[in-house]
Chains A and B, each alone.
Chain A
């Protein structure tokens, strides 16, 4: 075997060059030792992306191993898989994952967000599942920051532009504005697909001599070093210049790729398949070979190119979108090619699986890379970075109480706050109904989907609570998981699986590593308590600009399962005269609440969460839904109880009023009205069912208060302090975001 050669005109490979590629001196030494020689420039590029934080999880792997990944419903899951899979019954498997596309979206919001959607969709259909629903979690800087409107418009446009064109409904999401994200927005994209049980595809290569097919778009120069230099480093003044590392999406090609791949999968001629995501051709080829303990040889001259004269370095590192790599059964290439041809897509044999466990690339008659296959994935460095709590606790930095406004004034102001106000301006730009499964779309606690041909239903929620995580990364994570779970339980669904996107700052700083370690510990504890395994996830470090990190922001998405979708529970009040009940596991606090951000008062810190009690609440909500006891159920979250009660009145079919006496239960001060934190739930119930409902909750030792009733009249009365017209409140809630976006202040 000829040794890889340096190509004419290529930069010299040395420590300086390695540094410029983001590799540490120790990592450079490690790769020279693995190769037993100096790397070629191409090989250096390959190692730098595969060993990047983004691809290798080198700082997080130690912690992620501790997460619960199994339950009787888990078909496939945990680190290393493209996505997790849960058995949802009746022969169906749900495949889902959430992933970040933060830095690209800050540098180029439209394409960054669009390709984030495209990438997560490929992670789903690469497992043989048809994507049926997407969600997203977005964090922007302060609403008044000069870049925020541009970024919001670009990101929402990109998500819609891609998702709408590819025919996957965007069914839920969350949007938050906070100065902590001024220099580093977060765009986390979730997708869920459905496959028949027993028909999931593999990403593990088998059979030396099997051909390797490249399908989809041709390779261009876009996205080179997206994973390494863009995703795995902090932002600085130069970040704008990294715009060329952002990929450009083509949702039309993605749609063809989905249809062609799913059709090709039915032939049984696909042995393994993986999308060319981060680190493109390099990661997909080396990871499939490594999983199968085999080798792979690529002929780069056969790769379809957008322009001539791409170097092997560029071909291997390109992150051009809408490309898949397939290991086919030998002799059945033509069968697959005919299907891709039908969909007007490239399908070219560019290499084959070998038995020698080498990852080898040839170009114009020369070997340009020859690396032991395990070196790129399994033998990537793993770090146990120092973690230390900050000396000054976050709680001590909390805001000081300013003069508290009268409750009615606060209510109106919080309803108009972009973090609380209706996000209709955002979600009406997303197709939420294509594929005819959307029973409850955006705007409620959880999205609900039916499964065609089955009585069962799926509930989906995505949540984050960075302000709580900033005060206490452990308790904040638990609050986040519990809230996401409560959202699906409010809809009547039992939480069955978790995926997560862990957005943190620079892990080389002990304080950040501590936040991360505490967060993962919280995730594990909460997941075990509610009996929902963590089946997939993604870590996004280096969310910092010029040394200032974002708030620790774990984003949690939960899949809930409804035994009977007809028993789903809406979040809005349904009928005048129904009783309004309030369930509470613990008194709320103003710490980390929207009220605190506006008026202060949160200095007491977070309250400890009783996980057993929270699990009991989830189970009780599901049981009540299954027995048909509840007319509506809404979780108290952003803005607190007063906001949740108002939101429950905003039924899009027929707005209703509410009359609630909080004083009777001592719930009337600002903490009670606007406090957040686990857990309060607003339930409406037919008068005849109130007794049964109270018995059900009492049996599990959960306090429930009959607090008032639903009105036909447009009155919103929370005695003793608040007596408003619900139509006026609705107007404030609905017009706040579009009003502020169109104003020219």
Chain B
């Protein structure tokens, strides 16, 4: 599968995503520059973590106006696969490609640690290699990952299965303690109504090698790559 990893000024996990995809997962992957408009034939576009444009104003608020995002929006509208991790998730929400918004963590502090998330919907291009209820161990590292959306919208998202990942403990149980940032309904990842755009706060690209602490992130990339 052909992947495009967008590099915004201030992207930080762009090289890590590229390394995970190209070197570890042996996928075809290339960087896409924010000032360009070409997606270079990518079949899946990945918006990486980081502090795009310094995250001044609001996280992801400036990145959504970059030239490449016009192309990403069109690509998504045409049914192309888009995944955003961390800052990429924030950008997708700002661009209204995903519902809801990400606000400051409940603790008001940046959090870097490994957490558990439970797969809530396995019938998506991003989770098809997993089963519902599977627990993944993935790292998070963010200051603004508290997911919020209006209650009515959350209900609709639940009904449509748009909530893809929820924070939980190692056994898959939800609890206050297992929700690291205070997200509503413990939401860690959501998809759009068409299930071709997926955003998550955890970093699957940082969980592809046992030496670096785990390989559960592979399952997400394998799900996506298996579709093509």
Contacts and interface: CB of A to CB of B under 8 A. Distances in A.
B9 interface: yes
Interface stretch (B46-54, B94-102, B120-128): B46-54
Given A252-B51, A252-B53, A434-B16, A439 B212 contact: yes
A364 interface: no
Given A164-B110, A450-B211, A434 B13 contact: yes
Contact of A433 (B9, B50, B56, B212): B212
Nearest to A164: B110
B130 interface: no
A428 B113 CA distance: 6
Interface string A155-168: 00100110011110
Interface in A523-581: 565-566
Which 4 A-B residue pairings sit nearest by Cβ, starting from the closest? A252-B54, A167-B12, A436-B16, A165-B51
Nearest to A436: B16
B123 to A, nearest CB: 31
A252 B110 contact: no
A514 to B, nearest CB: 42
Given A252-B9, A252-B51, A432 B112 contact: yes
Nearest to A453: B23
Contacts of A565: 211
A533 to B, nearest CB: 30
A450 B213 CA distance: 13
A436 B212 contact: yes
Nearest to B207: A433
B223 interface: no
Interface string A418-459: 000000000111111111111100000000001010000000
Contacts of A438: 212
B141 interface: yes
Contacts of B211: 439, 450, 565-566
30 contacts: A157-B109, A164-B112, A164-B141, A164-B143, A165-B10, A165-B51, A167-B50, A252-B51, A252-B54, A253-B54, A255-B51, A344-B9, A429-B109, A429-B112, A430-B110, A431-B12, A431-B112, A432-B112, A433-B213, A434-B12, A434-B13, A434-B16, A434-B206, A435-B16, A436-B15, A436-B206, A436-B212, A439-B211, A450-B211, A450-B212
Contacts of B203: 433
A497 B117 CA distance: 41
A434 B19 CA distance: 12
Given A160-B110, A565-B211, A431 B9 contact: no
A256 interface: yes
Contacts of B205: 436
B129 interface: no
Interface string B145-161: 00000000000000000
A433 B140 CA distance: 10
Contacts of B9: 252, 255-256, 343-344
Contact of A429 (B12, B110, B209): B110
A250 B54 contact: yes
A429 B54 contact: no
Interface of A: 157, 160-161, 164-167, 250-253, 255-256, 343-344, 427-439, 450, 452, 565-566
A249 B22 CA distance: 35
A427 B112 CA distance: 8
A735 to B, nearest CB: 12
B20 interface: yes
A429 B139 contact: no
Nearest to A452: B19
B220 interface: no
Contacts of B55: 165, 252
B111 interface: yes
A122 B53 CA distance: 20
Contacts of B139: 433
Nearest to A169: B112
Interface size class of B (residues with CB under 8 A): 20 to 34
B10 A252 contact: yes
A149 to B, nearest CB: 14
A565 B212 CA distance: 11
Contacts of B111: 428-429
Contacts of B212: 433, 436-439, 450
Contacts of A166: 12
Contacts of A436: 15-16, 19-20, 205-206, 209, 212
A247 B110 CA distance: 23
Contacts of B109: 157, 160, 429
A715 B91 CA distance: 48
Contact of A428 (B13, B19, B112): B112
Q: Which of A164, A251, A437 has the most CB of B within 10 A?
A: A164
B10 A435 contact: no
B167 to A, nearest CB: 15
Q: Which of A253, A433, A435 has the most CB of B within 10 A?
A: A433
Nearest to B24: A436
A711 to B, nearest CB: 21
A255 B10 contact: yes
Contacts of B209: 436
A527 to B, nearest CB: 31
A167 B9 CA distance: 12
A434 B113 CA distance: 12
A157 B108 CA distance: 11
A433 B12 contact: no
Interface in B79-137: 109-113
A436 B209 CA distance: 9
Given A252-B10, A252-B51, A428-B112, A433 B206 contact: yes
Given A164-B143, A252-B56, A255-B12, 12 more contacts: A164-B110, A165-B10, A252-B53, A253-B54, A433-B141, A434-B141, A435-B15, A436-B15, A436-B19, A436-B209, A438-B212, A452-B19
A427 B141 CA distance: 12
Contacts of A566: 211
Nearest to A342: B35
Interface in B4-35: 9-10, 12-13, 15-16, 19-20
A252 B54 CA distance: 5
A566 B210 CA distance: 11
B141 A431 contact: yes
A24 to B, nearest CB: 43
Nearest to B14: A167
B164 to A, nearest CB: 23
A284 to B, nearest CB: 24
A109 to B, nearest CB: 15
A432 B15 CA distance: 16
Contacts of A253: 54
Q: Which of B19, B112, B206 has the most CB of A within 10 A?
A: B112
Contacts of B20: 436
B91 to A, nearest CB: 15
Nearest to B51: A165
Contacts of A167: 12-13, 50
A430 B213 CA distance: 17
A196 to B, nearest CB: 16
A437 B110 CA distance: 20
A436 to B, nearest CB: 5
A439 B211 CA distance: 6
Nearest to B114: A652
B69 to A, nearest CB: 17
Contact of B112 (A157, A430, A437, A450): A430
Contacts of B110: 160-161, 164, 429-431
A343 B35 CA distance: 10
Nearest to B7: A259
Contacts of B10: 165, 252, 255-256
A164 B55 CA distance: 12
Q: Which of B13, B19, B56, B111 has the most CB of A within 10 A?
A: B13
Q: Which of A167, A253, A432, A436 has the most CB of B within 10 A?
A: A436
